[in-house]
A = this chain, B = another copy of it.
Amino acid sequence: MGRWEPDARSRLERAALELFLAHGFDDVTVPQITARAGLTTRTFHRHFIDKREVLFSDADQMPALAARLVLDAPPELAPLDVVAQGLSTLASAAFEGRLQQLKQRTTVIDGHDGLRERELRKMERLTRAIADAFEQRGVDDLTAAVMAETTVGVVKVALRRWLRSDGEQPLQTIMTDSLTRLRDAFSGTGSPSTSASQPAGQTVDKRPAPRVDRS
């Protein structure tokens, strides 16, 4: 396999993203990327099939990672807790520390129809993987499907906010906040959609928290 370049992969990623941003994805060639990274085309192809893979190889592992997080969660965890724990791991394992790279990646993808389509399909695959994993945990298929959609929705919203705010808050905090808002909305305790004159909490259900068996 030739000489091992310890940081070759990240150098290639960095070079590729800079070139995509400067010249547009379509106008960048693999030799340009390797030249900028000071590496050979052969090294490039040890890490990536093509230039598109530079944007998606990590992302393509997300479905499998998410499925593992769901499947490996303690069996007694309820779906919502599985999601909360999984999002927390996902944030640190896949996103935190890569803010600038992810921002550049998003800019490149948003500006290119074909890449956007691949990104959207990736999210679909991620949703399916999460739903399948929940079903394997014994969750009924309708709950599995809607929890998967909701989870991916939270990931999308949280990532977008995190990138837009330039990482002002940790991604994990935004994810937790997002889940909390949903929980509030669904348990009928959250900020109601009232007019500003209505005091918060006035119109919502005040029933006691559900009984939880702690035996």
Contacts and interface: CB of A to CB of B under 8 A. Distances in A.
Interface of A: 73, 75-80, 82, 113, 116-117, 120-121, 124, 134, 137-140, 142-143, 145-147, 149-150, 152-154, 156-157, 161, 174, 177-178, 181-196, 198, 200, 203-205, 207, 210-212
A185 B137 CA distance: 14
A189 B133 CA distance: 20
Contacts of A117: 113, 116-117, 120
Contacts of A161: 142, 145
B146 A149 contact: no
Nearest to A117: B117
Given A142-B157, A181-B142, A182-B186, A192 B150 contact: no
B145 A157 contact: yes
Given A117-B120, A121-B120, A143 B181 contact: yes
Nearest to A196: B138
Q: Please name the 5 residue pairs, one residue from A and one from B, whose CB atoms are nearest each other, closest first.
A: A149-B153, A186-B186, A117-B117, A120-B120, A143-B181
A185 B83 CA distance: 11
A119 to B, nearest CB: 9
A203 B74 CA distance: 12
A54 B186 CA distance: 37
